[in-house]
Amino acid sequence: MERFILVVNPGSTSTKIAVYNNRKEIFLMNVKHEQEELAKFERIADQFEYRKNMIKEVLLTSGINLNTINIVVGRGGLLKPIEGGVYKVNEAMLRDIRNPMGEHESNLGGVIAYALAKEINPDILAIIVDPTCVDEMEDIARISGMPELPRKSFLHTLNQKAIARTYAKELKLKYEDVNVIVAHMGGGISVGAHAHGRVIDVNNGLNGDGPMSPERSGGVPVGQLVELCFSGKYSKAEILKKIKGKGGLSAYLGTNDAIQVEKRIENGDTYAKLIYSAISYQVAKEIGALSTVLKGNVDGILLTGGLAYGHFITDAITERVAHLGPVKVYPGEGEMEALALNAHLVLNEEIVVKEYV
């Protein structure tokens, strides 16, 4: 029986669109957005109509019959803290998307999926899967040292859980049967401790603690940060940009392009090597810390995301953490496949669709 799934995954500078016939991908396109176009919008939320119309145009010009679509799935964004799973896009979710916990392109996933579904057929379900706001942290992990500043869970939930499930399946086990540490390494880096199907501890991969990344500072010396904030040299917006957007590799090397940095290293740039090595060093430290959260019971250490394509990073991490458990590398994000798989399971009534409230 043919059943068609439309997948929408908004990124910072592009939107990935795919159509699946059950589990088979029949269409995939990553549509790049020119900076001049995005600059026209004051807020990310303002890009809604632009991106939705662009998706419809791409599908129609590619010969995709929208009337055949049976379900629309979008990447989830910064909603209130919720447990992992598949959620129906409802009025409560749309309300919170309009007043998000933070500015992020993933916020567009649910609202675009909902709008497209309603335009195709009012009876079509629109869903999101494992959004970045998933919070399954244990209470002790929330304690930061300042009551006013509890640690928060923001991570690459979709890819982290998909990779953990893939690894568990390779062991002929269920996700709920294993303890794994997953490091998603992309523009942002989140490292999570997964204990029997729940992410019980993770660094704030959006704009908080943890390893530095190509675009984010990660955890920095707090006293020195306070001094910087009150130095009079920077506005609040400029400080926030140093933390997210212009931190990490971008701050030290003037680029967030890991491929470019690796080429510089190959050409003998010792400073680039030092800074790039610091990412693997910090990720390894985070993995080591989370191994104590799992009390040393680590079934696997899984390295994923865009940076996992480069052996420089993964080899350096493996060298430091292999004594903690088996290390497996899964380059890339696998987000489209994960979104499509969950939509397929919904159509097959093999998974419960949760109600966002």
Pair (115, 243) in one structural domain: no
In this structure, is residue 142 part of a structural domain?
A: no
CATH number where 307 lies: 3.30.420.40
**Domain presence at residue 65:** yes
All residue ranges of the chain with pLDDT < 50 are none
Position 328 scores a pLDDT of 98
Domain of 222 in residue numbering reads as 157-331
Question: Is residue 31 one of the residues assigned to a domain?
Answer: yes
Mark whether 131 and 188 lie in a shared domain.
no
Same domain, 306 and 344: no
What does the pLDDT look like over 115-135, one tens digit per residue? 999 999 999 999 999 999 999
Q: Do 196 and 340 have their domain in common?
A: no
| Same structural domain, 275 and 168 | yes
Same domain (yes/no): 161, 295 = yes
Count of domains in the chain?
A: 2
Domain membership of residue 144 (yes or no) is no
Clarify whether residues 130 and 213 are in a common domain: no
- Whether residues 344 and 321 fall in one domain: no
- The answer to whether residue 141 is domain-embedded is no
Q: Looking at the structure, do residues 42 and 18 belong to the same domain, yes or no? A: yes
**Are residues 164 and 302 part of one domain?**
yes
Task: Please give, one letter per residue, the 3-state secondary structure of the chain.
Answer: CCCEEEEEEECCCEEEEEEEECCEEEEEEEEECCHHHHCCCCCHHHHHHHHHHHHHHHHHHCCCCHHHEEEEEEECCCCCCECCCEEECCHHHHHHHHCCCCCCCCHHHHHHHHHHHHHHCCCCEEEEECCCCECCCCHHHHCCCCCCCCCCCCCCHHHHHHHHHHHHHHCCCCHHHCEEEEEEECCCEEEEEEECCEEEEECCCCCCCCCCCCCECCCCCHHHHHHHHCCCCCCHHHHHHHHECCCCHHHHHCCCCHHHHHHHHHCCCHHHHHHHHHHHHHHHHHHHHHHHHCCCCCCEEEEEEHHHHCHHHHHHHHHHHHHHCCEEEEEECCHHHHHHHHHHHHHCCCCCEEECC
- For residue 246, the model assigns a pLDDT of 93
Q: Is 130 a domain residue?
A: yes
Task: Based on the fold, state whether residues 230 and 298 are members of the same structural domain.
Answer: yes
pLDDT at 137: 98
Model pLDDT, residue 105: 85
List pLDDT tens digits, range 82-111: 999 999 999 999 999 887 677 778 889 999
Residue 112 lies in a domain: yes
Within this chain, do residues 85 and 168 fall inside the same structural domain, yes or no?
no
- Is 256 a domain residue? yes
